[in-house]
Amino acid sequence: MSPGCDRCYAQTLAKRLKAMGSPKYQNDGDPSTSGPGFRLTLHRSSLDVPRRWSAPRLVFVGSMSDLFHDDVPPGFIAQVFEVIRETPQHTYEVLTKRAQRLSRIAPGVDWLPNLPMGVSVETRRHGFRIDHLRQVPAANVVGS
Protein backbone atom coordinates (compact mmCIF):
# COMPACT_ATOMS: atom_id res chain seq x y z
CA MET A 1 0.00 0.00 0.00
CA SER A 2 1.18 3.50 -0.80
CA PRO A 3 -0.34 6.98 -1.07
CA GLY A 4 -1.07 6.15 -4.71
CA CYS A 5 -3.63 3.64 -3.44
CA ASP A 6 -5.56 6.24 -1.44
CA ARG A 7 -8.87 7.12 -3.10
CA CYS A 8 -8.13 4.57 -5.82
CA TYR A 9 -10.50 4.94 -8.79
CA ALA A 10 -10.37 1.20 -9.44
CA GLN A 11 -11.41 0.31 -5.90
CA THR A 12 -14.37 2.71 -6.09
CA LEU A 13 -15.36 1.46 -9.53
CA ALA A 14 -15.08 -2.21 -8.46
CA LYS A 15 -17.51 -1.55 -5.63
CA ARG A 16 -19.95 0.00 -8.10
CA LEU A 17 -19.54 -2.81 -10.63
CA LYS A 18 -20.15 -5.39 -7.90
CA ALA A 19 -23.39 -3.61 -6.93
CA MET A 20 -24.42 -3.63 -10.59
CA GLY A 21 -23.88 -7.40 -10.74
CA SER A 22 -20.88 -7.38 -13.10
CA PRO A 23 -19.56 -10.98 -13.01
CA LYS A 24 -15.88 -9.99 -12.91
CA TYR A 25 -16.34 -7.95 -9.75
CA GLN A 26 -18.07 -10.32 -7.34
CA ASN A 27 -15.00 -11.35 -5.31
CA ASP A 28 -14.47 -9.16 -2.26
CA GLY A 29 -11.03 -8.22 -1.09
CA ASP A 30 -9.74 -7.60 2.40
CA PRO A 31 -11.64 -4.55 3.75
CA SER A 32 -8.43 -3.02 5.14
CA THR A 33 -6.57 -3.02 1.82
CA SER A 34 -9.13 -3.62 -0.89
CA GLY A 35 -12.89 -3.89 -0.60
CA PRO A 36 -16.10 -5.03 -2.27
CA GLY A 37 -15.52 -6.54 -5.70
CA PHE A 38 -11.82 -5.75 -5.61
CA ARG A 39 -10.16 -9.06 -4.73
CA LEU A 40 -7.37 -10.01 -7.09
CA THR A 41 -8.98 -12.33 -9.62
CA LEU A 42 -7.40 -13.75 -12.77
CA HIS A 43 -9.66 -13.65 -15.82
CA ARG A 44 -7.94 -16.15 -18.11
CA SER A 45 -10.78 -16.00 -20.66
CA SER A 46 -9.93 -12.33 -21.28
CA LEU A 47 -6.52 -13.32 -22.62
CA ASP A 48 -8.11 -14.43 -25.91
CA VAL A 49 -10.02 -11.21 -26.54
CA PRO A 50 -7.18 -9.25 -28.27
CA ARG A 51 -6.56 -12.20 -30.57
CA ARG A 52 -10.05 -11.67 -32.03
CA TRP A 53 -9.49 -8.01 -32.88
CA SER A 54 -8.03 -7.45 -36.32
CA ALA A 55 -8.00 -3.64 -36.30
CA PRO A 56 -5.25 -2.10 -34.15
CA ARG A 57 -6.28 -1.03 -30.65
CA LEU A 58 -4.72 0.55 -27.61
CA VAL A 59 -5.06 -1.88 -24.69
CA PHE A 60 -4.55 -0.78 -21.07
CA VAL A 61 -3.48 -4.05 -19.48
CA GLY A 62 -4.84 -4.40 -15.97
CA SER A 63 -6.56 -1.03 -15.89
CA MET A 64 -8.35 -2.19 -12.72
CA SER A 65 -5.41 -4.04 -11.24
CA ASP A 66 -1.63 -4.36 -11.24
CA LEU A 67 -0.13 -7.08 -13.43
CA PHE A 68 2.93 -7.18 -11.15
CA HIS A 69 1.01 -7.63 -7.89
CA ASP A 70 2.74 -10.26 -5.72
CA ASP A 71 -0.27 -12.59 -5.98
CA VAL A 72 -0.29 -12.68 -9.80
CA PRO A 73 1.46 -15.94 -10.72
CA PRO A 74 4.50 -15.66 -13.00
CA GLY A 75 2.83 -18.10 -15.40
CA PHE A 76 -0.13 -15.75 -15.84
CA ILE A 77 2.20 -12.81 -16.49
CA ALA A 78 3.95 -14.96 -19.11
CA GLN A 79 0.58 -15.66 -20.77
CA VAL A 80 -0.13 -11.92 -20.95
CA PHE A 81 3.22 -11.33 -22.63
CA GLU A 82 2.52 -14.19 -25.05
CA VAL A 83 -0.71 -12.48 -26.14
CA ILE A 84 1.21 -9.24 -26.63
CA ARG A 85 3.77 -11.07 -28.77
CA GLU A 86 1.07 -12.76 -30.86
CA THR A 87 -0.83 -9.52 -31.53
CA PRO A 88 1.70 -6.92 -32.72
CA GLN A 89 -1.05 -4.85 -34.38
CA HIS A 90 -2.15 -3.65 -30.92
CA THR A 91 -0.30 -1.35 -28.54
CA TYR A 92 -0.40 -2.49 -24.92
CA GLU A 93 0.20 -0.16 -21.99
CA VAL A 94 1.14 -1.56 -18.60
CA LEU A 95 1.46 0.61 -15.50
CA THR A 96 2.56 -0.66 -12.11
CA LYS A 97 3.32 0.50 -8.60
CA ARG A 98 5.28 -2.72 -8.09
CA ALA A 99 8.41 -1.68 -9.92
CA GLN A 100 10.68 -3.99 -7.92
CA ARG A 101 8.82 -7.08 -9.11
CA LEU A 102 8.77 -5.67 -12.64
CA SER A 103 12.56 -5.32 -12.66
CA ARG A 104 12.98 -8.87 -11.30
CA ILE A 105 10.75 -10.34 -14.03
CA ALA A 106 12.01 -8.11 -16.86
CA PRO A 107 15.10 -10.15 -17.85
CA GLY A 108 12.92 -13.15 -18.72
CA VAL A 109 10.53 -11.17 -20.93
CA ASP A 110 10.69 -10.69 -24.69
CA TRP A 111 10.15 -6.91 -24.73
CA LEU A 112 8.41 -5.85 -27.91
CA PRO A 113 7.91 -2.41 -29.48
CA ASN A 114 4.13 -2.60 -28.95
CA LEU A 115 4.52 -2.56 -25.14
CA PRO A 116 5.31 0.73 -23.45
CA MET A 117 5.91 0.16 -19.74
CA GLY A 118 5.34 2.67 -16.96
CA VAL A 119 5.41 3.10 -13.21
CA SER A 120 3.37 5.31 -10.90
CA VAL A 121 5.38 7.76 -8.81
CA GLU A 122 2.97 9.56 -6.51
CA THR A 123 5.57 11.21 -4.23
CA ARG A 124 9.31 11.83 -4.23
CA ARG A 125 9.59 9.01 -1.71
CA HIS A 126 8.45 6.64 -4.46
CA GLY A 127 10.96 7.92 -7.04
CA PHE A 128 12.92 4.68 -6.62
CA ARG A 129 10.34 3.10 -8.94
CA ILE A 130 11.88 5.01 -11.83
CA ASP A 131 15.24 3.38 -11.10
CA HIS A 132 13.60 -0.05 -11.33
CA LEU A 133 11.84 0.99 -14.55
CA ARG A 134 15.20 1.99 -16.05
CA GLN A 135 16.30 -1.65 -15.67
CA VAL A 136 13.49 -2.77 -17.98
CA PRO A 137 14.55 -3.15 -21.62
CA ALA A 138 11.14 -2.04 -22.93
CA ALA A 139 11.22 -0.12 -26.21
CA ASN A 140 9.14 2.74 -24.85
CA VAL A 141 9.41 3.43 -21.14
CA VAL A 142 7.19 5.99 -19.47
CA GLY A 143 6.84 7.27 -15.92
CA SER A 144 3.78 8.87 -14.37
Dump the DSSP string for 49-91. Answer: HHHH--S--EEEETTTS-TT-TTS-HHHHHHHHHHHHH-TTSE
CA atoms within 13 A on the CB side of 134: 5
Question: What pLDDT score does 32 carry?
Answer: 73
Cα–Cα distance for residue pair 130/20, rounded to 1 Å? 37
Residue type, position 85, single letter = R
The gap between the terminal CA atoms of the chain, to the nearest Å, is 17
Residue stretches of the chain with pLDDT short of 70: 1-9, 18, 36-38, 140-144
The DSSP 8-state label assigned to residue 34 in this structure reads S
User: Cβ distance 74 to 105 under 8 Å?
Assistant: yes
pTM: 0.83
Question: What pLDDT score does 140 carry?
Answer: 63
Triad 76, 14, 48: Cα angle to 5°: 35
- Burial class of residue 54 in the structure, from the number of CB atoms within 10 Å of its CB (0-12 exposed, 13-18 middle, 19+ buried): exposed
